[in-house]
């Protein structure tokens, strides 16, 4: 007997779930309905799906799909996967794919019920591959690594804001204090005083004795540099609002530094629980936090059929642009998983320093005339290919194998030339 199918489209919002049930021919199995987006509604939804499957036939493939909508769909997905009376195939769909599918069908009207029907039709016509079941704790790891990325971005915004304030009110501070990142002792001082006048009022002895970190002092040499800057400030007595901005920005950076240390420790511990035998940390330049960020976005590497498909998911491939007589240009695509792409690009900085294979590849590209940006994108792609290979083979990094592969590729390029 040929297996029949039931396609269930769910349009999820914060308060309700609109549901459409279609058979293999795209005909409604039963009337569309609406359930509360809460524990009671989830139980009613599961019962309705099982009942609709019974209407289709005794041997039915049940396929449910919903768009990825913030985190409003996650509990529904878990409830459907936990159903024991029927095996339910659950799909979390890309909203852009569903929207473009609707455009292809020339659908103009939009209501929640029509959207649920469109999702059911998408499942019927496109037949997407089912998502694998993730290990326990995977969603928590993903949420933690994404939260960490947002905190890092927030800290960068605050640092840029503080640099802007210091350029205006303490011009030349980079020449005196160094052009690197904002040192912790400077942040401690700015969070306490916030203006040149307050620094001069404090005096060198009190300033040098200020503590930060584990028993460290600001020190006389650093205090003298700060006071010299304060003496040369265009305006020593800043307004109350400017002092507040400097103080709160410096404090926020210190708070974020402490929070990131704490969340890094928690991510490392959770990584060992979710992926106890992962091999990514064997790659020189990739630590536990970077490995966690990469694995949290990949999930099951088996859902990628090839290395090229994985690189496409990362969004680490160039696209060409030309029109008429316009000159051809290449740039990195904007598509792909933004968080995964960012994790690989950030990991390249450390890999270029500690991984001889990546460093050699980068220098070879620079000698061929590639820009730093283009070379950085290329080594991020190379790192993505390495990650894919190690995860598929489930084996640790080997510098010897990697170098042999690079030499073989160079020899093939020379023969082709």
- Residue keyed to tokens 């210091």: 166
27, 48 contact by CB (below 8 A): no
pLDDT exceeds cutoff 90 at 120: yes
- Residue keyed to tokens 């294979």: 357
- pTM equals 0.81
Q: Mean pLDDT of all residues in the chain?
A: 89
Distance CA 132, CA 302 (A): 9
Average pLDDT of the residues in 161-171:
93
**3-class SS of residue 9:** strand
pLDDT exceeds cutoff 70 at 1: no
Could you give the residue ranges of the DSSP H alpha helices within 210-355?
A: 220-231, 240-274, 288-298, 307-314, 338-354
Burial of 51 (C-beta count, 10 Å sphere; 0-12/13-18/19+)? middle
- Give whichever of 70-74, 125-129, 144-148 has the largest mean pLDDT: 144-148
For 345-399, write each residue's pLDDT tens digit. 999 989 889 988 899 889 988 988 888 888 888 899 999 999 999 999 999 998 8
The DSSP code for 302 is G
Average pLDDT of the residues in 126-132:
83
Q: For the domain covering 4-126, report its CATH number.
A: 3.30.420.10
299, 133 contact by CB (below 8 A): no
**3-class SS of residue 73:** coil
Please give the distance of CA 65 from its chain centroid, rounded to a whole number: 23
* CATH fold for domain 140-268: Helix Hairpins (1.10.287)
197, 227 contact by CB (below 8 A): no
For 242-259, write each residue's pLDDT tens digit. 999 999 999 999 999 999
The dihedral over CA atoms of 71, 93, 129, 388, expressed in degrees to the nearest 10, equals -70
Q: Domain residues of the chain, as ranges?
A: 4-126, 140-268, 278-416
Name the residue among 107, 98, 127, 120 with its Cα closest to residue 22. 120
Position 415 scores a pLDDT of 63
Provide CB contacts within 8 A for 238, sequence distance 6+: 169, 194, 195, 196, 197, 246
Provide CB contacts within 8 A for 140, sequence distance 6+: 270
For 326-337, write each residue's pLDDT tens digit. 565 667 777 888
H or E element in which residue 168 lies:
helix 138-169
pLDDT exceeds cutoff 60 at 322: yes
Instruction: State the greatest distance between any 2 C-alpha atoms of the chain, in Å, as a whole number.
Output: 90
H or E element in which residue 261 lies:
helix 240-274
């Amino acid at each position: 007997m040929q297996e029949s199918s039931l396609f269930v489209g769910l349009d999820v919002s914060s308060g309700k779930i609109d549901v459409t049930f279609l058979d293999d021919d795209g005909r409604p199995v039963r009337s569309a309905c609406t359930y509360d987006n809460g524990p009671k509604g989830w139980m009613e939804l599961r019962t309705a799906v099982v009942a609709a499957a019974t209407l289709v036939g005794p041997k039915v493939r049940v396929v449910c799909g919903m768009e990825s909508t913030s985190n409003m769909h996650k509990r529904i997905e878990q409830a459907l996967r936990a159903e024991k009376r029927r095996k339910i195939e659950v799909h979390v769909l890309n909203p852009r794919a569903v929207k473009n599918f609707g455009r292809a069908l020339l659908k103009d009207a939009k209501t929640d019920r029509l959207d649920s029907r469109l999702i059911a039709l998408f499942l019927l016509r496109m037949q997407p591959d089912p998502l694998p079941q993730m290990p326990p704790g995977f969603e928590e790891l993903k949420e933690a690594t994404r939260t960490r990325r947002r905190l890092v971005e927030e800290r960068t915004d605050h640092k840029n804001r503080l640099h802007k304030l210091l350029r205006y009110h303490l011009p030349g501070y980079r020449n005196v204090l160094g052009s690197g990142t904002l040192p912790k002792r400077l942040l401690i001082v700015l969070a306490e005083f916030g203006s040149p006048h307050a620094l001069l009022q404090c005096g060198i002895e009190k300033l040098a004795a200020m503590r930060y970190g584990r028993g460290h002092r600001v020190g006389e040499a650093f205090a003298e540099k700060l006071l010299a800057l304060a003496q040369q400030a265009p305006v020593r007595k800043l307004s109350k609002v400017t002092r507040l901005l400097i103080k709160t920005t410096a404090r926020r950076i210190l708070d974020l530094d402490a929070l990131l240390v704490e969340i890094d420790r928690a991510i490392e511990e959770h990584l060992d629980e979710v992926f106890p035998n992962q091999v990514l940390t064997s790659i020189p330049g990739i630590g536990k936090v970077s490995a966690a960020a990469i694995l949290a976005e990949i999930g099951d590497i088996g859902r990628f059929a090839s290395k090229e498909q994985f690189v496409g998911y990362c969004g680490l491939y160039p696209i060409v642009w030309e029109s008429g007589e316009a000159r051809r240009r290449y740039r990195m695509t904007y598509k792909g998983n933004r968080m995964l792409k960012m994790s690989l690009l950030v990991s390249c900085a450390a890999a270029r320093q500690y991984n001889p294979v990546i460093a050699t590849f980068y220098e070879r590209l620079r000698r061929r005339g590639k820009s730093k940006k283009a070379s950085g994108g290329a080594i991020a792609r190379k790192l993505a290919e390495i990650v894919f290979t190690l995860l598929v083979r489930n084996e640790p990094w080997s510098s010897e194998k990697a170098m042999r592969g690079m030499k073989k590729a160079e020899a093939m390029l020379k023969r082709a030339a």
